[in-house]
Chain A
Amino acid sequence: MKITVNGTKETLSAPTDIDSFLQEKGIDRKGIVVELNREIIPQGDWPKTVIGENDSLEILRFMGGGAVAWRTH
């Protein structure tokens, strides 16, 4: 199953929910924002929101800076 995460193509072996996906990636979930197909998913909905085929995921967090930060990844 192909998905896009932060602009990069990835393959998932099986459908999974957002919460598990983040856990698997080892991401500290404090202060994280997740957009699924450009729609913000509240943290409370992560365990019941399943990532599907061709979904696009944006996982964002606060960083230092301004001006051009969004694109300097």
Chain B
Amino acid sequence: MEDALKIGGKELENRLFIGTGKFSDNRLMEEAIRRSGAQVVTVALRRIDFESSQENILQYVPHECILMPNTSGARNAGEAVRIARVAKASGCGNWVKIEVVPDHKYLLPDNDETVKATEILAGEGFAVFPYINPDLITAKKLKDAGAAAVMPLGAPIGTNRGLETREMIRILINEIALPVIVDAGIGKPSEAAQAMEMGAAAVLVNTAIATAQDPAAMAAAFDLGIKAGRRAYLAGPAATRERAEASSPLTGFLGRE
């Protein structure tokens, strides 16, 4: 496979991860997943509601996709670990996305608790994908803890604001020897392309697809944006010039020896 993303013990061809929240209809979601070409689909664990009959979402996820349960709802490391173990018991594999979100106003993650949960779950053989506020020290600790990737947010969940945290994500990409998957905040395919041009390994998109007027068409557009950004990254963008004028020579003293 050319330019495969090796991650969590698997090789992926497609670098769009797709989330399953906020779709108005499961059939729309299924079509969006298919059109996106995504090979990784995140799902949440929830208590069954006995009052209303609910369809099993797994029926609508193409069976060739890797399911990545998230620990949404967890407010601390202990809860995240518990949810991850429960998810694994359902027999859907060993991938887990750690979300520890005690903040209900902006839905921002708790990095410290995320590191703790990652240490425990990586030790139990999970491929751990922690969702974090983009912070270098946290990312280094996650690397040491055995994370399979880091998933920094581009902007708060659901805001569609794009790469507001660009500089911090750039630092993670430069410094962390793990795939960096930009998660949350990406609102448009052009923003996903920018993340990929910077060297992100993949992008996770949910709200921007699920709440588009035509989710399936938007999913296809994200697929193209991510592919374009990835190709641009591999092609090596030319540098922008900081200054046009020539500055005074710094090596004139050397002459021609």
User: When A and B assemble into the complex, do they touch directly, with CB atoms less than 8 Å apart?
Assistant: yes
Chain A residues at the B interface, C-beta cutoff of 8 Å: 5-7, 25, 27-28, 30-33, 35, 38, 40, 42-43, 58-73
List of B residues within 8 angstroms of A71 by Cβ? 73
Query: Does A33 lie within 8 Å of B50, measured CB to CB?
Result: no
Query: Does B48 lie within 8 Å of A32, measured CB to CB?
Result: yes
Chain B residues at the A interface, C-beta cutoff of 8 Å: 19-23, 26, 29, 42-50, 54, 56-58, 67, 69-70, 72-74, 82-83, 85-87, 89-92, 97, 99, 101, 104, 107, 157-158, 206
How many A-B residue pairs lie within 8 Å, measured between CB atoms? 122
> Closest 8 CB pairs between A and B?
A70-B73, A65-B21, A69-B44, A64-B20, A63-B46, A6-B47, A62-B43, A40-B89
Nearest-neighbour CB distance to chain A for B109, whole angstroms, equals 10
B50 to chain A: closest residue by CB: A25
Given A40-B85, A68-B101: A62 and B23 interface contact (C-beta under 8 Å): no
List of A residues within 8 angstroms of B48 by Cβ? 6, 27, 32, 59-61
List of A residues within 8 angstroms of B45 by Cβ? 33, 60-63, 69-70
Kindly state the separation between the CA atoms of A41 and B54 in the bound complex, as whole angstroms: 22
Nearest-neighbour CB distance to chain A for B33, whole angstroms, equals 11
Query: Does A68 lie within 8 Å of B29, measured CB to CB?
Result: no
Nearest-neighbour CB distance to chain B for A43, whole angstroms, equals 8
Nearest-neighbour CB distance to chain B for A58, whole angstroms, equals 7
Kindly state the separation between the CA atoms of A30 and B63 in the bound complex, as whole angstroms: 14
Query: Does B67 lie within 8 Å of A62, measured CB to CB?
Result: yes
Known: A33-B45, A35-B86, A61-B45. 11 other contacts (CB 8 A): A30-B56, A31-B58, A60-B47, A61-B56, A63-B44, A66-B19, A66-B72, A67-B72, A67-B157, A68-B72, A71-B73
Kindly state the separation between the CA atoms of A59 and B45 in the bound complex, as whole angstroms: 10
List of B residues within 8 angstroms of A68 by Cβ? 72-73, 101, 104, 107
Kindly state the separation between the CA atoms of A42 and B155 in the bound complex, as whole angstroms: 39
List of B residues within 8 angstroms of A25 by Cβ? 50
B44 to chain A: closest residue by CB: A69
List of B residues within 8 angstroms of A67 by Cβ? 21, 72, 99, 101, 107, 157-158
List of A residues within 8 angstroms of B97 by Cβ? 66
Sample of 15 A–B contacts (CB below 8 Å): A31-B56, A35-B86, A40-B85, A40-B89, A59-B47, A60-B45, A62-B43, A62-B69, A62-B90, A63-B20, A63-B46, A64-B26, A65-B43, A69-B44, A70-B45
Query: Does A58 lie within 8 Å of B47, measured CB to CB?
Result: yes
Kindly state the separation between the CA atoms of A40 and B90 in the bound complex, as whole angstroms: 10
Q: Which of A30, A38, A58, A66 contacts B44 (CB 8 A)?
A: A66
Given A33-B86, A33-B89: A64 and B73 interface contact (C-beta under 8 Å): no
Nearest-neighbour CB distance to chain B for A60, whole angstroms, equals 5
Nearest-neighbour CB distance to chain A for B143, whole angstroms, equals 23
A27 to chain B: closest residue by CB: B48
